[in-house]
Amino acid sequence: MRSDNVTKGAERAPNRSLFYALGYTKEELDRPLIGVVCSQNEIVPGHMNLDQIAQAVKAGVRMAGGTPIEFPAIAVCDGIAMGHVGMKYSLVTRELIADSTEAMAMAHQFDGLVMIPNCDKNVPGLLMAAARLNIPAIFVSGGPMMAGTMTDGRRTCLSHMFEAVGAYKAGRLDQAGLEEYENNACPTCGSCSGMYTANSMNCLTEAIGMALRGNGTIPAVQSARLRLAKRAGMQVMELVRRDIRPRDIMTKAAFHNAETVDMALGCSTNSMLHLPAIAHECGIALSLAHANEISQKTPNLCHLAPAGDTYMEDLERAGGVYAVMKELTKKGLLDTSVSTCTGKSLAENLEGVKNLDPEIIRPIENPYSPYGGIAVLQGNLAPDGCVVKQAAVAEEMMVHTGPARVFDSEDDAIAAIYAGKIVSGDVVVIRYEGPKGGPGMREMLNPTSAIAGMGLDREVALITDGRFSGATRGASIGHVSPEAALGGPIALVEEGDRIAIDIPACKISLLVDEEILQARRAAWVCPEPRIKSGYLARYAKQVTSAARGAVLE
């Protein structure tokens, strides 16, 4: 066993003495040592319950003959970090999580790992670590939050809460109405209740084969979540016994499956950052262009919030991710021969699975649309691509041309939106918010929610080299690459320039003559970095394009 490096032989007597200082017995050290990577903290609602998940995991490990040893991973609450400098520190934690988990696992020579994440960067960060370490590993998340309920019986969620701020600023909602959303949008622990980034990534962890059925959908408050955690603790011991490793599971075919499920579910656009980054750790290249190929042949089967009025608890009741995958197999859209953390193939896992609610998971013969939930647009404004959650775009905004309203930061844009300076037909451009220019590639949930809350989401588009929350809806186009800080064409846009968006054709164009753009390019000077010290300054020097998943070099 790997752990023999720290527990066996006379030369490891000093190591054993330190284990004994921790209270471990000789019998425990003779068993496989399983690292339990727990992201519990007291600042993220999706992580406040992870201590209970960890206890259940450890019980499962012990039942199966292993010795569980818990250590932490950090996590940021994107909702609390939203709208201020804190959001610059969200995406960057993905690499911190991967790096610190690698360091702990290598330093202590665990035989296997159980990863307990839940929220936006925590899930991909730990998947990156699992791929990099390539020792037997399994994932079990903390589970999604229940949807909220307003006093009139309407169900609600965090995306409604953010949009309520825009409605309040526009005078469409009073203070009492705002407070009603505030008190009801987030009623329990768990990752926020729609198909936002956290739930997207937890569902895709099932789809890629690294988590047991229900990982993405069993609500955080249900006891079934604790039973799932116990089963994960037991199953990691089987993975150790059979030496089944993450890269045996996360193959090119598995990533193809995950992208296909992504399109069917209508996941967050952030998946287009995270899947390439995880694949990169597996030595696999995922291109944005490939995502369009998958989208064009994958029907969109689910409209969970913010695209619709259903929530994660509804998806679980309908059969969960496995039921979505079962629908996709009817047209041969998944490779079911791939291995999974169950020790069985995907085909074996899907035996007997049924779609229990065709209103929540549309049958593949009757999809919401014949194409997937995400589209990658290209053109002279984004030569390397940009991303939109087309499943959450109103029909009248699928094709749109309008004048650019240009802002060099999210803060300037949100001030203009709140001041009523954005009008019907505008194309809001927010730049210098990319991975390098931000630095940190902030999510733009505040401006997109303000636009939606003011009733302009069917009339105004927003384009940025930053990114969006999974809670964003409307014609919100992010990840514009190359970003402005690298001299990408978005840096050359001027107030009033016409921008043409054609989502069905996957095109985005800046309607300015090339000669004029060349003159602007010759005069362009990169602004001074906004942050010149600390982790963000180091991150800015190492981070690559969003088109590559914003991985570090």
DSSP-based three-state secondary structure for 477: strand
Please give the average per-residue pLDDT across 432-442, as a whole number: 97
Report the mean per-residue pLDDT for the chain: 96
Residue 360 has pLDDT above 90, yes or no: yes
State residue 472's pLDDT score: 84
Using the structure block, give the residue that is written with the tokens 């994932």.
139
Domains of the chain plus CATH, in order, are 31-144+190-349 (3.40.50.2300), 375-548 (3.50.30.80)
pLDDT digits (tens, 9 = 90+) for 49-61: 999 999 999 999 9
State residue 289's pLDDT score: 81
Could you list the active site residues? 469
Concatenating the DSSP letter of every residue in 484-552 gives GGGT-GGGG--TT-EEEEETTTTEEEE-S-HHHHHHHHHH--PPPPS--SHHHHHHHHHB--GGGTS-B
* SS (HEC) of 34-93: EEEEECCCCCCCCCCCHHHHHHHHHHHHHHCCCEEEEEECCCCCHHHHCCCHHHHHCCCH
Taking Cα atoms as reference points, which of 405, 502, 412, 525 lies closest to residue 463? 405
State residue 304's pLDDT score: 96
Residue 508 has pLDDT above 90, yes or no: yes
The pLDDT confidence band at residue 288, using thresholds 50, 70 and 90, is confident
State residue 273's pLDDT score: 96
Percent of the chain with pLDDT over 90: 95
Instruction: State both tokens at 272.
Output: 């287009």
pTM, two decimals, is: 0.96
- Residue 383: asked if its preceding bond is cis (omega within 30°), the reply is no
The amino acid at residue 172 is R
Q: What are the backbone dihedrals phi and psi of residue 228, each rounded to the nearest 5 degrees, phi first? A: -60, -40
The pLDDT confidence band at residue 496, using thresholds 50, 70 and 90, is very high
